[in-house]
Structure formats: structure tokens, C-alpha cells
Amino acid sequence: MKKIIFAAVLLIFAFSAEAQLKWSDHSVHTLAKGRKEIGLFAPLKYGLKDSLELSVHPVFFFVIPHITVKKYWKSVGSWELGSTHGFAYPNLLYKLISRRGTGGILPENAKIPQLFKFNNSVSLGKSLNQHLDLTFTAGLDLTIALGEGSFPEIEFPIVYPRTYSHNQLITPYLGAHLSGELTGKLQYAYDGTAFFFVRENKGLNLENNLRLQWNASNKLAFRVGLVHSYGTYPFGKMGRLYPYFDVLFGF
Amino acid sequence: MKKILALLLFGGLLFSSCDPFHAKIEKDSETDTALYYSSEKISTPASIPDTLTIATWNIKFGGGRIDFFFDCYGDRVLMTKDEVLSNLQGIAQEIKHINPDIIFLQEVDISSKRSAYVDELQWILDHTDLNYGYYGSQWKADYVPSDGIGKMDSGSAILSKYPLSNARRIPLPLIEEQSGIVQYFYLRRNMLRATATIGAQSLEVITTHTSAYSTDGTRLKQLKEIKKEIDGVAAKGKKFVLGGDFNTLPPNTVVFEKFDDGACDDDPDFATHSAKDELDYMNLFLDTYEPAISQADYDADNSPYFSFTSDKNGFWNRKLDYLFTNGDFLDHSGLVHQNSERGGAETMPLSDHAPVSVRLILK
């Protein structure tokens, strides 16, 4: 066990000696051309060009085919413009979790229409100094539902605002992203997002996501964070706080 | 230094975010987990009667006789709001018919996906002559990731025409044979206790709903805990009424296995086990306190006192619901409201349990 820890520490220090590259975040900036990143939980991201980034989750892709494209467009005065465009077909996953017994997130007899979910957003960002990057985002989730039935809502924080459009067509949202350097390799990031429920069960869901990331090198980073979700659900209002962590690999 | 403090705060927040599905009811105090309710219109009785009508009823979360998956008669998991309100209408009508001064209810949903998030306790208070209530969760989770159940908050309640106070939700032992993950999301049995004030008199009112499917002796442990609690009340010279769904057959029950409603016999999760070795469990209470239905009456003929069946097309086939006191019930006033002949109304369509009532001598 001691040998494994010693080797891990050596590895981290070896990685630390490299020149720093920017890790992916929620700003308008995309990964450098050819760079790839993946986390234990985070999706695989790939810098297709210096201004174009692709993102898919290698595990979930097989049960929820999806892709997200992030594009850096241009500078607009002192601000920079970017956008993201995503598509997902979640029915395979929903069929898998519609079951009796443990893991039955949805009822076995659920009749779910064919769902085609599109996500588009526009972002404006500005780097004030090394301690503060600021990005504002406006986006829209749009789900086209074909066929009979309805989606049995998953009224759980994080999931509910991202599946609201399954039954209600659209979910507009606004977001703000702040990030920067705390000390050397330690960075912080904050994402605040407001989802607007504009059709049935009208209301709002606010997500605050605060995280710390230690960039050991260009190839290894550790992330811990807290996400707080507060908002309207079919049963009323609820607020919840969840911790999370991830280990990111870049290559 | 500020950054270190910020990191510590961050770490502290991380650790405070345990119990991600908020299923551990016991992490809050016994008083905090007994939720107070009142009717939108309070109409306290003008005079104090000589006897109180006390009742208990497991209302099956307002599910009526919809064919749910766990009964093995169908595949339904979720109800529409219209279905829930329609079923509650029948339940409220029966409660008004019984006209209890105090009623214990089990399986009351206050915010569950399966019952369209209707607060059934508030609805019943607002649609009957009952004024006050206390609620204790038995099954609570932000999301139950099994069978498509989703959000759950279901429990027991005490409803009264007279003011209630000093309420506590007292936890009972959990089923030990379950794995940690199953136990985390499973029902957490309890006693709900409050003090009813009827004029100058106080009455301790306690309801419970013990485990149905344990085979590891958990239910007996729960029954002993309940006995200990009421013994404590009696030892202090206080009068009590205990009522609820004990999921336990009385002694001298003729049919204690292979019931005629056993549609779940092939399902290990919901199959009914033989109660042969449990027939003396209720002696814990019968030996010490007065039951609403006397054991002699039950011994003479079991069937008029049956209060449960999962088959809506059959007839009540076992007794699971009880009322006990250390005071005095009016002789032979105990009644299981089985149908129009015994109770004055057809209760079979309303729940898988029939209500039980009795008159308690107050003066």
C-alpha cells in the first residue's frame, strides 16, 4: 500500500513539472486543438479545432446517445462570444430504468413517447484578471415528443430541471460562470443557473455550483464541489445540497 | 488564512451533505418529526360527552381498490389526482359516518408521487368534523429508486375533534435482515403519541403500524417496544388508547396461512408468510389491557372481526387492526366496519383494511 501511495505522489509531482494548459470549463473558451479530457464522472471532451470542442459521455452514450458541441465565435469589444449545441435521445435509458424492483426509477408500466432533446445556448465572457473570468449564458432546452404517453417526471434536484422539457416542450435558462486562480494550481469555479418553468407547474429552479479544482498537471486534476438546488417541483418548493468529486485526466 | 478558512468551510459543507435522499427520519428529534395539522374550520364540540368514539383505519394512501403492483393484482404504481380525490371522498364519507372523536390513520400520504402529491391528512381534516391532527412519517425519501415509486412521504396520523399536544414520533426497530441500501430506502416504523385534552381530562393517544414482511423477529421487537411505552404511560397513572395496524393475528385464529387473497405467493417481496409461530404475539397486550374486540368474542367466531383482505372481490379474511386501553371501553361497543350489515356502509372499495371503532368511557 505504501508503495502505491509513493508512486502516486511521484506521478503527481512528475506531472506538475509540465507547462500549464487550460482545463475545460463553462467559459466561452474551448479546449486546445487535439487535447482530450475525461473524468471518472465527467464526459469525454475533445478539442476538434482551437475554436471547436466536442463532448460525449463514453459510458452513458450507449444508453442515451448524445453529443454537445461548443464553439468559440469571436471577440465583441472586450467580451468574447461562444455557443453550445447539444442533442440527446434518452428513451433507451428510460426504458432501462422503467422496471420493477431496485433500480426502478420509473414505473414499469410507464408509456413514454419518443423524446428528442435539443439544447442551445449563447455565452458572453470576459477575463478581468487571472483571478476572475466572467461568463453569462442564455439557453433553451427543447424536447420534441412523438407518440402517445407522457414522461413520469423525475422530481429530483438536478434531474428535474433538465427533464422538465420532456413534458413541457421548453425550459429556458440563464447562467453565470465565475472562475479563476486561487493559488498557483488551485482554481475555483462557480456556476449559477436559473431554470424557468414556463408551462405546467410554473416556477423557477436555481442551482448554485461551487467547486475547487487542483490542477496537478496538464494530465491530472482533482475536483471537489457542492451544488445547491432550490426550486419549484410538482409538490411544492424544495432545497437540497449535494457534494461531489471527480478526478480528471487530460491527454 | 482566509483561504484556509474558506477551504475548511467548504469541507464542512461537504460533510454536512450526508443522507442525500433525506430518508433518515430519525436524524431529527422525536418532537420535530411529529407534524402538527389543523382543519381550515375548527368546530370544537360544545359539550363533553360521557363516552368518546375512537377508531383506527389503515386507509392505504387513498389508493382504494386500484390494482397496484404490490398486491399482485395489477401493475399500477402511480395514481392521478382525480383518482386520489375520488378515493378520499369515500374515506371522508366513512369517517363522517363513524363520527369518531379521535381516529388513528395509517398509510396517510402527505407528499408522495404515487398519490399525486395530495396532502391527504389536510384533505381529510378539511372534509370531516375532525379539527386537529398530528402526523409522523413512516416512509420518507426525496426519491425511492425502486418500482418507479419516486418521492415518498407516507405515515401514521392522529386526528381529533379535541385539541392535541405534546406529540412525539417514537422510532421502532428497523428490519435487521435487510441490506443497508434496502433499509435506507425502506419503511421506518414508529409510534406516534400525543395528548388529547377533552375538557378537564387528558388522554394519551398512541398509534402504530408495525412491520408486515419481516421474518427475523423485528415485529416482535417492535411490539415489545410499544408495550414498554404504554406500560410507562400506565405507570404514571395516565389513561391511554393505543390503536393501529399491528400486522399480527390474534391468538386462536383459525386460518393463519394460505389465505384466499394470496396473489403474491410467488413474489418473495410481498408473499404472506405463515403466522403459525406468531399467534401468541398479541398476548403482550391482551393479557394486560382491554381490547376493543374481546378475545372471547373473537374466539367464538373470528370472521366478524376480520379487518383486512387484498382481494377486493373477496371478503375480509384476517384481523390486523386493534384498539387497546388501560381505561374502560363500553361493553361490546367494538365494531369492525366490514360492510353495510356490520357498520352501515360498504368499506371494501375504500381500502384493503376496514375501520375499527369502539366507545371509551370518559366519565
Q: What average pLDDT does the segment B235-253 reach?
A: 97
Confidence bin at A1 (pLDDT 50/70/90): very low
Query: What is the least distance, in Å, from the CA of A97 to any CA of chain B?
Result: 8
Say if the Cβ atoms of B145 and A107 lie within 8 Å.
no
Nearest to A104 among B78, B113, B146 (CB): B146
Check residue B136 and give its pLDDT.
Answer: 97
Indicate if the pLDDT at residue B215 is higher than 80: no
- In chain A the domains, ranked by start, together with CATH numbers, are 2-250 (2.40.160.40)
Alpha carbon distance, N-terminus to C-terminus of chain A: 27
Confidence bin at B257 (pLDDT 50/70/90): confident
Q: Do residues B185 and B145 lie in contact, with contact meaning Cβ atoms separated by under 8 Å?
A: yes
- List CB contacts of A127: < 8 A, sequence separation 6 or more: A133, A134
Q: Do residues B77 and A100 lie in contact, with contact meaning Cβ atoms separated by under 8 Å?
A: no
Indicate if the pLDDT at residue A2 is higher than 60: no
Say if the Cβ atoms of A155 and B143 lie within 8 Å.
yes
User: ipTM for the complex?
Assistant: 0.84
Q: Do residues B162 and B134 lie in contact, with contact meaning Cβ atoms separated by under 8 Å?
A: no
Say if the Cβ atoms of A102 and B22 lie within 8 Å.
no
Say if the Cβ atoms of B78 and A107 lie within 8 Å.
yes
Residue B77 CA to residue B347 CA, distance in Å, equals 22
Return the closest-CA partner of residue A66 out of A86, A50, A52.
A86
Q: Is B70 on the interface with A (CB under 8 A)?
A: no
Nearest to B145 among A104, A109, A157 (CB): A104
Confidence bin at B8 (pLDDT 50/70/90): very low
In chain B, what percentage of residues exceed pLDDT 90?
A: 77
Q: Is B146 on the interface with A (CB under 8 A)?
A: yes
Indicate if the pLDDT at residue B178 is higher than 60: yes
Indicate if the pLDDT at residue B204 is higher than 70: yes
Indicate if the pLDDT at residue A21 is higher than 80: no
Query: What value does the mean pLDDT of chain A take?
Result: 91
Indicate if the pLDDT at residue B363 is higher than 80: no
Nearest to B14 among A108, A157, A224 (CB): A224
Indicate if the pLDDT at residue A200 is higher than 80: yes
Nearest to B10 among A103, A183, A212 (CB): A212
The pLDDT tens digits for B70-114 are 877 888 999 999 999 999 999 999 999 999 999 999 999 999 999
Indicate if the pLDDT at residue B4 is higher than 70: no
Indicate if the pLDDT at residue A87 is higher than 60: yes
Check residue A11 and give its pLDDT.
Answer: 43
Confidence bin at B270 (pLDDT 50/70/90): low
Indicate if the pLDDT at residue B277 is higher than 90: no
Confidence bin at B26 (pLDDT 50/70/90): confident
Query: What value does the mean pLDDT of chain B take?
Result: 91
CA-nearest residue of chain B to A243?
B14
Query: What is the least distance, in Å, from the CA of A84 to any CA of chain B?
Result: 30
Residue A46 CA to residue B220 CA, distance in Å, equals 60
Protein fold of B22-361: Deoxyribonuclease I; Chain A (3.60.10)
Say if the Cβ atoms of A100 and B14 lie within 8 Å.
no
Partnered with residue B196 across adjacent β-strands are B164, B203
Say if the Cβ atoms of A226 and B13 lie within 8 Å.
yes
Q: What is the 3-state secondary structure (H, E, C) of A106-158?
A: ECCCCCCCEEEEEEEEEEEEEEEECCEEEEEEEEEEEEEEECCCCCCCCCCCC
- Cell, residue A223: 475536483
Residue B52 CA to residue B72 CA, distance in Å, equals 39
Say if the Cβ atoms of A156 and B143 lie within 8 Å.
yes
Indicate if the pLDDT at residue A16 is higher than 60: no
